[in-house]
């Protein structure tokens, strides 16, 4: 009997202590409520500052990206500010498809070439804001466009644009945006100028207009220069080899490559040995159009023009020819491959 009394007393003491602990413990709150509170706190803390950078610059457009886009979730949107004024908003869902913020002007006017702009992005979600640092984006001095075969060409007359023909082959050319009545868009009002046309300002179709559509699109200045160099070099196919020469279709090997690069304002000198020191070295596996192949113990140079072809001034017997890339191994050893652009 005495033992049973002691056991009951112990049980009552343990029950009392447990009840007292539950009354004062913060863990008396239900697990589900605690989890909800923790999840909400973690969500608000996840709104970090965007990291903004310029991915491409054109004469009339800036393309930017958010480098830490994967850090954002939910219904986040991104407000873009240019030179202190609000410009536009992007939804996170849109940027996840293509991390590209396209800017052709501020809230009022189109961009002009060679102008610097201060840009920032503010992330917003559930009433919380997080801003990127302000970065500077500068438009390029010109805009170059891919102009595809079959694009319709226009001229401007007193009654507006009229068709004159079509582009016969793929081109890259500089052009400026303008209205359908030929008024330049640069610096003009976005509300009143529809920028529906582009005036070609260089190349084969200089002075013609194109309507902005799928038959044209912006490209980099480097691609324009490479195509200009390659097209000029390839156009010498069938010309004469002239030792020490540097005339169109009458030249030696380094004279051909020198003339081609001169078309984009670059002087690479009339010497294989000096051309071998220009640009940077690349491997044959990484060869691209415009690259120079230095061979025959620095005694010969050829240009790779794409599609596994080269052009070079070979000899007085063979003249200037376009040949398969593999033919360069007849000029072994290959001393260097130089990327000039």
Question: pLDDT for 61-82, tens place per residue?
Answer: 999 999 999 999 999 999 999 9
What is the distance between the alpha carbons of residues 118 and 54, in angstroms, rounded to a whole number?
11
pLDDT of residue 32: 36
Q: What is the pTM of this model?
A: 0.77
**312 catalytic residue (yes or no):** yes
Task: Judge contact between 154 and 163, C-beta under 8 A.
Answer: yes
The answer to whether residues 224 and 172 touch, using CB atoms and an 8 Å cutoff, is yes
Q: How far apart are CA 294 and CA 281, in angstroms?
A: 10
A 10 A CB-CB count for 80 gives 22
Catalytic residue from among 178, 197, 295, 312? 312
User: What is residue 325's predicted lDDT score, i.e. its pLDDT?
Assistant: 96
The answer, yes or no, to whether residue 221 has pLDDT greater than 70, is yes
Instruction: Check whether 248 has a pLDDT greater than 50.
Output: yes
Q: What is the mean pLDDT of residues 144-170?
A: 94
Pick from 251, 175, 178: which is nearest to 216 by CA?
175
Nearest to 173 by CA among 210, 141, 144, 213: 144
Cβ-based burial of 160 (10 A; exposed 0-12, middle 13-18, buried ≥19):
exposed
For the stretch 83-131, pLDDT in tens is 999 999 999 999 999 999 999 999 899 999 999 999 999 999 999 999 9
Token pair 């033919």 in the structure block, residue: 327
Residue that wins the pLDDT comparison between 144 and 32: 144
Given the residues 178, 197, 253, 331, the one annotated as active site = 253
Per the residue annotation, which of 178, 197, 295, 300 is the catalytic one?
300
In sequence order, what are the residues at sequence separation of 6 or more whose Cβ sits closer than 8 angstroms to the Cβ of residue 4? none
> Could you report the per-residue pLDDT of 184-213, keeping only the tens digit for each?
999 999 999 999 999 999 999 999 999 988
Over pLDDT 90: what percentage of the chain? Answer: 82
- Per the structure block, which two tokens stand in for 158? 């007193």
For residues 254-266, average pLDDT: 97
Q: Could you give the C-alpha distances from 102 to 90, 96, 106, 257, 282, in angstroms and in order? A: 10, 14, 11, 37, 33
pLDDT at 197: 94
Q: Is 300 a catalytic residue?
A: yes
In the chain the domains, ranked by start, together with CATH numbers, are: 52-138 (2.60.40.10), 144-219 (no CATH), 223-339 (3.90.1720.10)
């Amino acid at each position: 009997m005495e033992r049973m009394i002691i056991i009951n007393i112990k049980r009552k003491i343990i029950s009392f202590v447990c009840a007292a602990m539950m009354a004062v413990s913060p863990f008396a709150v239900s697990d589900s409520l605690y989890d909800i509170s923790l999840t909400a706190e973690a969500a608000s803390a996840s709104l970090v500052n965007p990291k903004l950078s310029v991915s491409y610059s054109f004469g009339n457009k800036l393309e930017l990206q958010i480098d830490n886009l994967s850090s954002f979730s939910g219904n986040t949107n991104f407000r873009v500010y240019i030179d202190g004024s609000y410009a536009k908003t992007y939804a996170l869902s849109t940027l996840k498809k293509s991390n590209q913020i396209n800017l052709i002007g501020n809230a009022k006017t189109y961009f002009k070439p060679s102008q610097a702009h201060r840009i920032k992005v503010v992330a917003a979600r559930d009433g919380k804001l997080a801003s990127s640092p302000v970065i500077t984006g500068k438009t390029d001095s010109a805009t170059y466009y891919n102009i595809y075969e079959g694009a319709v060409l226009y001229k401007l007359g007193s009654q507006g644009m009229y068709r004159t023909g079509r582009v016969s082959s793929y081109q890259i050319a500089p052009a400026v945006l303008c209205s359908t009545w030929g008024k330049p868009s640069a610096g003009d009002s976005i509300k009143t100028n529809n920028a529906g046309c582009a005036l070609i300002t260089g190349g084969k179709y200089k002075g013609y207009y194109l309507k902005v559509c799928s038959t044209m699109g912006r490209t980099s200045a480097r691609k324009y220069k490479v195509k200009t160099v390659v097209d000029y070099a390839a156009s010498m196919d069938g010309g004469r080899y002239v030792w020490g020469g540097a005339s169109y279709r009458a030249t030696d090997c380094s004279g051909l490559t020198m003339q081609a690069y001169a078309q984009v304002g670059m002087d690479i000198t009339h010497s294989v040995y000096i051309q071998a020191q220009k640009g940077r070295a690349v491997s044959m596996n990484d060869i691209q159009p415009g690259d120079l192949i230095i061979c025959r113990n620095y005694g010969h140079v050829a240009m790779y023009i794409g599609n596994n072809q080269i052009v070079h001034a070979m000899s007085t017997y063979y003249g200037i020819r376009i040949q398969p890339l593999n033919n360069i191994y007849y000029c072994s050893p290959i001393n260097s491959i130089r990327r000039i652009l």
